[in-house]
Structures are given as structure tokens and as C-alpha cells.
């Protein structure tokens, strides 16, 4: 008898177990997203005049093309280069959700926004950033500043566009640990919010790796920062900068300090256009050019060689007061330290940029007065865009 009862109980348990296996309940991940009725505007840009050249010269296709496809400014000659997609309101909205979603990491603990914080112009306040399972990145998290204008991304310029970049951090085991992207696609399909968001962005609810990458790139490209006090000054408001900041601007643009020859133009970044000073001289994409990098003499010998021989991206200085610590390894805590370094700390690395070597063959010494140093810091602080860091369209939709 006892044996029979046990057998029946076992049989019942097995049947229930089997039945639940056969019609596997659809796990639906339900989250209430805080998105506007009508999508925010990401697609059209209202640029002040002094920034129009930067965008026309560097990102001609991202915001203006209406075909919805990826434009190929390589004219078919450089087919392996992935350029940025056109930004649409629904595409960038989807990108925003992905950017803040911890589901993009293997253990559901890390989002892009964990290391790129809006209130810090999308940088991280620590030298290395904590990623997947508490592992720490070797390099300082970069601010996301007008990436649509960059031909070279990451500290070593190893990728050529936001589109090419977007799936890298997801797969990188330190950052997000999601090595198998097909797992991610399945995970997103099980939520109750992604299918609808993909439909709005791409016309149908299919979730693909390509679309994830595209939407993230659209969101990154839509993060346009052109609203600092420096911009107000450039649009004609003479009072936007204080006297100290104006002195700092003069120091920055003085030929002797060289600052503006590397951090150039109104986006304060390397001129990395093909044929530009820090671009590929032979117009060969991915060729031997500096790709927007330089060796600025941080060390006599380098442990991290960057692109090659201690050459690192010449980053944009927009929002710089918000994005410390500074340099690829976050070695300087403050802008005062950075200015002190350029004033008297440049080392004679064998690959030091020629601009930073004086006529005597020694590293350049600026010998700025303490007022000039203070002014230079003040000018750098005037480059902060206070609207970007509170703009709801770039904020966390899970809040």
C-alpha cells in the first residue's frame, strides 16, 4: 500500500512537472517606464551658428538624412567602416531605455549609465569604473560629449563610430559581461516593454543585435552639448563670461600655450578629419594616421601605450569641469592639477608631440603666473553645459 501511494504521488508530481515544462509559462518582465506620451525631439537640432561648422564638417549625415538608413560617406570605397545612423525620435527613445537598462548586463546589475552618469556629463567620478561582478576597468570612463562628431572613439581611438562602439561594452567582460548577444536578444523579448519600443522605432517588433546597436548609437548621437556659458558668449552675450574667464580664454587660445592647437575648434577636440592635422594624412581610413591621438608627455615611460607609444585621444574639453578625474587613467583629480601639469610637468617621452617640445629640445614650460593658471581653470569651467545634465530626454526612464 505504502509503496503504491508513494508511486501515485510520484506520478502526480512528474505529470505536473512535465506539464509545466511543456507549456513553459511566458516569463514577462514587467516594468513601468516613465516615457512621455509623445516622444521627445531628438532628430532635429537647433545649433548655434558657431557650432554649425563643427556639425557640418564632422557629422553631415546623422541628423539630416531622411532615408532612415545608414549613409555611407565612404562612397563604397571603405565598406568595412560603420558610420552612425540617422537619429529618429523613436529610435533614440529606445536607445535611452537600453542605455539605462541593467538587463543589458549578464547579471542584471550594470547599465551603461552605471559608468556614464548624466549629472556628470555621462562620465564617472572614479578613476576606474566598477562593472560586471565588481571588476574594475583599467581606464577612466569617458564622458559622452558630442560623439556624433567623433571619427575616433575610446581613449585609443580603436573604433570609428558610435554605431561600431555600442555593442562593445555589452560584450566586454569587465563592463557588462554579455558575451553571447543572442541571449540578450531573448532576454529583451521577454519583457513587456521592448517589443512595443522596437515597433515604434523600426516598424515591427523584431529584436535584433543590429537594432540594439543602432538604437543605442542613435541615443548617443543625440546627446548634443552646445549650451555652455562659452556658447552664450560666442552667440554675442559679452556678459556670459567673467573677466577672469575671459583672461583664461585668452591664455587657452594664445599660440604659446598650444592648448587650442590640439583641443581645437568650438568642440575643443582633435582635428581628426581625413587630411586634418590629427587625421589620416593619406585619407586612408584606419591607416597609419594619429586618429585624433597625441602623446602629451604624461610619463617618461608608459604602461598603457594607448593607440601606440603613449598616444591617447585628444578629448573634447566641453563639460570638463564635470568629468573628473582626468586623463586616460584618471590620475589628476582636479583641473588645477591638469593646468599645473601642462605648465611645468610635461615629460620628454620619446614620442612626445612636437608641439610640446621647446626650441631647446626640452619639454615645453609655460611659466604661467598664478593668476593665469586660475584664469585658465575658470575658462575650462565655463565650458559646462548645465542643461544637458538635467534634460529629461537624457534621464533615466526607469525612475
Q: Does 62 bind ligand HEC (CB under 6 A)?
A: no
Q: Does 137 bind ligand HEC (CB under 6 A)?
A: yes
According to CB under 6 A, which one of 54, 272, 353, 372 is a site residue for ligand HEC?
A: 353
**Beta-carbon count within 10 A of 363 CB:** 16
Min CB(121)–ligand HEC separation in Å:
10
Residue among 305, 307, 299 at smallest CA distance from 270: 307
Size of the site for ligand HEC (CB under 6 A): 52
Site pattern 157..196 for ligand HEC (x: CB under 6 A): -----x--xx--xx----xx--------------------
Q: Does 262 bind ligand HEC (CB under 6 A)?
A: yes
Q: Does 314 bind ligand HEC (CB under 6 A)?
A: yes
Min CB(375)–ligand HEC separation in Å:
11
**Long-range Cβ pairs for the range 208-214 (8 Å, 24+):** 209/167, 209/181, 209/182, 209/184, 209/185, 212/98, 212/166, 212/167, 212/181, 212/184, 212/185, 212/188, 213/163, 213/166, 213/167, 214/85, 214/91, 214/163, 214/166
Q: Which residue has the cell 559622452?
A: 144
According to CB under 6 A, which one of 87, 327, 375, 378 is a site residue for ligand HEC?
A: 327
Min CB(324)–ligand HEC separation in Å:
7
Q: Does 201 bind ligand HEC (CB under 6 A)?
A: no
Distance CA 216, CA 213 (A): 5
- Tell me whether the omega of the peptide bond preceding residue 325 falls within 30 degrees of 0, making it cis: yes
Distance CA 81, CA 76 (A): 10
Contact positions vs ligand HEC (CB under 6 A): 99, 104, 110, 112, 114-116, 129, 131, 137, 139, 141-142, 144, 147, 150, 153-155, 162, 165-166, 169-170, 175-176, 216, 220, 257-259, 261-263, 294, 296, 298, 312, 314-315, 317, 320, 323, 326-328, 338, 342, 353, 355-356, 376
Amino acid at each position: 500500500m505504502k509503496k503504491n501511494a508513494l508511486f501515485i504521488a510520484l506520478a502526480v508530481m512528474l505529470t505536473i512537472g512535465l506539464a509545466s515544462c511543456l507549456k513553459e509559462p511566458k516569463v514577462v518582465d514587467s516594468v513601468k517606464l516613465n516615457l512621455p506620451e509623445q516622444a521627445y525631439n531628438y532628430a532635429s537640432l537647433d545649433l548655434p551658428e558657431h557650432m554649425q561648422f563643427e556639425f557640418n564638417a564632422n557629422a553631415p549625415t546623422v541628423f539630416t538624412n531622411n532615408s532612415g538608413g545608414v549613409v555611407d560617406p565612404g562612397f563604397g570605397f571603405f565598406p568595412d567602416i560603420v558610420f552612425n545612423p540617422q537619429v529618429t525620435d523613436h529610435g533614440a527613445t529606445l536607445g535611452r531605455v537600453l542605455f539605462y537598462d541593467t538587463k543589458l548586463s549578464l547579471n542584471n546589475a550594470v547599465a551603461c549609465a552605471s559608468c556614464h552618469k548624466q549629472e556628470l556629463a555621462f562620465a564617472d567620478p572614479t578613476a576606474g569604473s566598477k562593472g560586471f561582478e565588481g571588476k574594475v576597468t583599467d581606464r577612466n570612463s569617458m564622458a559622452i560629449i558630442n560623439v556624433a562628431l567623433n571619427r575616433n572613439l575610446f581613449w585609443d581611438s580603436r573604433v570609428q563610430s558610435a554605431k561600431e562602439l555600442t555593442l562593445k561594452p555589452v560584450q566586454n567582460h569587465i563592463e557588462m559581461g554579455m558575451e553571447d548577444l543572442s541571449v540578450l536578444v531573448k532576454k529583451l523579448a521577454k519583457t513587456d516593454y521592448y517589443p512595443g519600443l522596437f515597433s515604434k522605432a523600426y516598424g515591427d517588433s523584431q529584436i535584433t543585435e543590429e537594432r540594439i546597436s543602432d538604437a543605442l548609437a542613435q541615443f548617443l548621437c543625440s546627446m548634443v552639448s552646445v549650451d555652455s556659458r562659452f556658447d552664450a558668449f560666442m552667440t554675442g552675450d559679452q556678459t556670459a563670461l567673467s573677466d577672469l574667464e575671459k583672461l583664461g580664454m585668452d591664455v587657452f587660445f594664445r599660440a604659446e600655450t598650444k592648448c587650442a592647437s590640439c583641443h581645437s575648434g568650438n568642440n575643443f577636440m582633435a582635428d581628426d578629419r581625413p587630411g586634418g592635422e590629427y587625421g589620416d594624412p593619406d585619407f586612408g581610413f584606419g591607416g597609419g594616421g594619429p586618429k585624433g591621438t597625441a602623446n602629451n608627455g604624461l610619463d617618461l615611460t608608459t604602461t598603457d601605450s594607448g593607440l601606440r607609444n603613449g598616444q591617447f585621444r585628444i578629448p573634447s574639453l566641453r563639460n570638463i569641469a564635470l568629468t573628473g578625474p582626468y586623463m586616460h587613467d584618471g590620475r589628476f583629480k582636479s583641473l588645477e592639477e591638469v593646468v599645473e601639469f601642462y605648465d611645468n610637468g610635461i615629460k620628454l617621452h620619446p614620442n612626445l608631440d612636437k608641439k610640446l617640445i621647446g626650441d631647446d629640445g626640452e619639454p615645453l614650460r609655460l611659466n604661467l603666473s598664478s593668476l593665469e593658471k586660475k584664469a585658465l581653470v575658470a575658462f575650462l569651467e565655463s565650458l559646462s553645459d548645465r542643461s544637458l545634465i538635467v534634460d529629461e530626454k537624457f534621464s533615466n526612464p526607469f525612475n
